[in-house]
Structure 1
Amino acid sequence: MSRVEADFERAVARHRHELLVHCYRMLGSVHDAEDAVQETLLRAWRAADRFDPARASLRTWLYRIATNACLTALESRSSRPLPSSVGPAFDDPDAPLVPNLEVTWLTPIPGDPEASAVERSRLRLALVAALQLLPARQRAALILREALDVPAAEVGESLGMSTAAVNSALQRARRTLASAGVDPEAAAEPPAEQRAVVDRYVDAFERADVPAITALLTDDIVLEMPPNENWYAGRDDYAGFMRRVYRLRGTDWRTEPIWANGEAGFVAYVDGRLHTVQVLTVEGGRVARTTVFQSPEAFAAFGLDGDAVIR
């Protein structure tokens, strides 16, 4: 590696993680975000001689390149939703599962409970899912304003939009998030409080104690499980679905704790085999949302082997 390449690597290395987070929020996939970061660094390397620190910091310059790399990627693929954004809630907990492999679903990103409160809040699953409802340039404008506090005029320069168009896009984006019941400024619960609630949930889950699980839920709890279209709202349907799970899959469950999207969760194994990655949203000491992932991409993000057996 030449000295120029080494200097470039050192300069951008400290920005890799936040660029990955940025691209994940744009694309809804760790795998796609990693590809976008690689594309960003390649574009930056090729344009390094045109970087002018008098006009923008290296961080801002890299964010602009990353945003446009994501916009390019989104030209050839659709946004990644969760089931609650695709269709109405199911009202029968015993309804057959309806897998939809034609939809490219949102996947989680491994997290660190020691990450800043700002990062954890910006990665909340509900927020990332709501961002996927926005047209690509609205999404980019909102994220740039939020992440970097970039003035609207500079956002417009990055996205090829007028300042008026950027302000209009921001207004529409915020209305969409509000209609989805998501506050982009809301803070994630502190990690210790999240984990305490999730540990109680896990204890009940491993004992197949549906009443104890239900007691930990908010009244308007949401349960969704991509790649299935089935999703449920409310404690009664949640309890009914859990009774179905234990009836069909048995009660030999084991778990391992994880953090994803700034939220506490766990990996579930049944009869010693990998079953799902489950991410729980905690609000006010109760579980407000459980998102259950069962896809090779989600498993790969956490380094999980779908063929492994534990005892």
Structure 2
Amino acid sequence: MADAADADYGDEFADDFARETEPYRRELFAHCYRMLGSVLDAEDLVQETYLRAWRHHGGFEGRSSVRTWLYQIATNGCLTALARRRDADRRVLPSGLGPPERYTQSAQLEPDLREQWLQPVPDALVTTDAEDPASVVAAREGVRLALVASLQHLPARQRAVLVLRDVLAFPAAEVAAMLEVSTASVKSTLQRARATLQERAPAADEIAEPTAPQAKAVLNRYIKAFENSDADALTRLLLHDAAIEAPPIRAWFKGLENCIPVLRDRVLGTPGLWRMFPVAGGANGCPAVAGYLRDAQGRYQPYGVVVLEVIGDRVGRIVSFGDPRLLPVFGFENAALREAGPATSPR
């Protein structure tokens, strides 16, 4: 009888824990992504957060809300993870490392594996269909590539304070309690973080929200142009001052006079070289595609994820993440496709 009672108690405890904590999983994931700049690291950190919360749930005395308690665990976990990174506590985009290059035939487009590169995040992991439209827009804007890339230039503790205060709107006293510092320290840290971020803040047109029909139309035109190796179609699709960057390649380019030649000469190849599939929901608040590149045997090998920053009915920036590990996160196979494969390749 005692064993049955213990089992019932364990099930009740698990049910209570899930009911109290699961509603915050998506926003905690977005928080860890902003802090770490990596969707793969954020997944691990959220799992670690829930494991630690489970272990210590019995000692949670309600001195704060469950949401605040979970954010405290997640934030300190992120700070610990950032401190463990040997090279740097930030992930970057090529545009954050220096000015654009002028394209020439001899331009070096080799991967730079010394840097830790920013990764994209599926919108499906940070928003839900059940949320009201205003909440969906806010969630998408909170993970824009330009914003997350800017955050990465802040020292880890400044990053934590700014996200907790300005993005999540926690009171300064609660942030101080989470980080075990004084309220005065939070306020001074926030002031320094805001000053640094203001220098790198994205322009208004970089975070403009395209309408759904516009985004879909632009995405379809991009896929068609790429799969047909049509540089002229891409010329009509890109803004005059559009930019292209492709981590882990360090070089990046700005302006049609540079972007179109690099695409035509070094990327597009011949028709059929690329297969691209729309990412349901997009990435970082933008339209996105999963890309596969045909090898010499005619099989399409996994490439990665491409995010399009859309302004009106044109593309202002292409950020091409050449990392096949990202594909399963976005619902696609990290494996070769047959040449006559399906129109989509979900898991």
Task: Show structure 2 runs of 5+ residues with no match.
Answer: 1-9, 341-347
Report if aligned partners of 1:118, 1:187 keep a CA contact under 8 Å in 2.
no
Q: 4+ runs of 1 displaced by more than 4 Å? A: 183-187
Q: By how many angstroms is 1:179 displaced?
A: 1.8
2:46 maps to what in 1?
37
2:84 maps to what in 1?
76
2:316 maps to what in 1?
288
Identify which range, 174-183 or 130-139, moves more after superposition. 174-183
Give the residue type in structure 1 aligned to 2:244. Answer: L
What are the equivalent positions in structure 2 for 1:267-278 lying under 5 Å apart? 267-271=290-294, 272-273=299-300, 274-278=302-306
Q: By how many angstroms is 1:187 displaced?
A: 5.3
What are the equivalent positions in structure 2 for 1:11-22 lying under 5 Å apart? 11-22=20-31
Partner secondary structure for residue 270 of structure 1: strand
1:134 maps to what in 2?
154
Partner secondary structure for residue 287 of structure 2: strand
Give the residue type in structure 1 aligned to 2:233. Answer: A
- Render the CA deviation track for 1:49-83: whole Å, top value 9, x for unaligned: 33243x42211221121111111111111311111
Identify which range, 226-235 or 141-150, moves more after superposition. 141-150
- Cα 1:176–1:297 shift into 2, 3 Å: farther
Identify which range, 190-199 or 230-239, moves more after superposition. 190-199
Report if aligned partners of 2:208, 2:311 keep a CA contact under 8 Å in 1.
no
Partners of 1:170 and 1:250 in 2: how far apart?
Answer: 51
- Cα 1:56–1:227 shift into 2, 3 Å: same
Decide which of 71, 80, 85 is 2:96's aligned counterpart: 85
Q: Tell me how many residue pairs correspond in the alignment.
A: 309
Identify which range, 155-164 or 95-104, moves more after superposition. 155-164
Question: Is 1:297 aligned with 2:309?
Answer: no
Q: By how many angstroms is 1:224 displaced?
A: 0.8
Question: Is 1:226 aligned with 2:244?
Answer: no
- Render the CA deviation track for 1:92-143: whole Å, top value 9, x for unaligned: 2531312111222111112238571111111111111111111111111111
Partner secondary structure for residue 47 of structure 1: helix
What are the equivalent positions in structure 2 for 1:188-227 lying under 5 Å apart? 188-227=209-248
Partners of 2:238 and 2:181 in 1: how far apart?
Answer: 44
Decide which of 268, 279, 294 is 2:307's aligned counterpart: 279
Partners of 1:143 and 1:195 in 2: how far apart?
Answer: 31
Q: By how many angstroms is 1:27 displaced?
A: 0.7
Report if aligned partners of 1:225, 1:291 keep a CA contact under 8 Å in 2.
yes
Report if aligned partners of 1:93, 1:244 keep a CA contact under 8 Å in 2.
no
- Cα 1:161–1:189 shift into 2, 3 Å: farther
Identify which range, 172-181 or 17-26, moves more after superposition. 172-181
- Normalised by the length of structure 2, the TM-score is 0.81
RMSD of equivalent CA atoms: 2.3
- Cα 1:172–1:211 shift into 2, 3 Å: farther
Task: Show structure 1 runs of 5+ residues with no match.
Answer: none
- Render the CA deviation track for 1:280-303: whole Å, top value 9, x for unaligned: 011233212111011133233224
1:108 maps to what in 2?
120
Partner secondary structure for residue 280 of structure 1: strand
Give the residue type in structure 2 aligned to 1:102. Answer: R
Partner secondary structure for residue 222 of structure 1: strand
Give the residue type in structure 1 aligned to 2:239. Answer: T
Give the residue type in structure 2 aligned to 1:233. Answer: K
2:75 maps to what in 1?
67
Larger Rg: 2
- Cα 1:40–1:276 shift into 2, 3 Å: closer
Partner secondary structure for residue 96 of structure 1: coil
Q: Which has the higher contact order (CA 8 A, sep 6+)?
A: 1
Partner secondary structure for residue 15 of structure 1: helix
2:5 maps to what in 1?
none
2:344 maps to what in 1?
none
Partners of 2:329 and 2:310 in 1: how far apart?
Answer: 22
Partners of 1:171 and 1:205 in 2: how far apart?
Answer: 45
Decide which of 145, 149, 157 is 2:169's aligned counterpart: 149
Partners of 1:251 and 1:278 in 2: how far apart?
Answer: 19
2:138 maps to what in 1?
118
Report if aligned partners of 2:247, 2:320 keep a CA contact under 8 Å in 1.
yes
Partner secondary structure for residue 279 of structure 1: strand
- Render the CA deviation track for 1:2-38: whole Å, top value 9, x for unaligned: 3212321232122112111111111111221111112
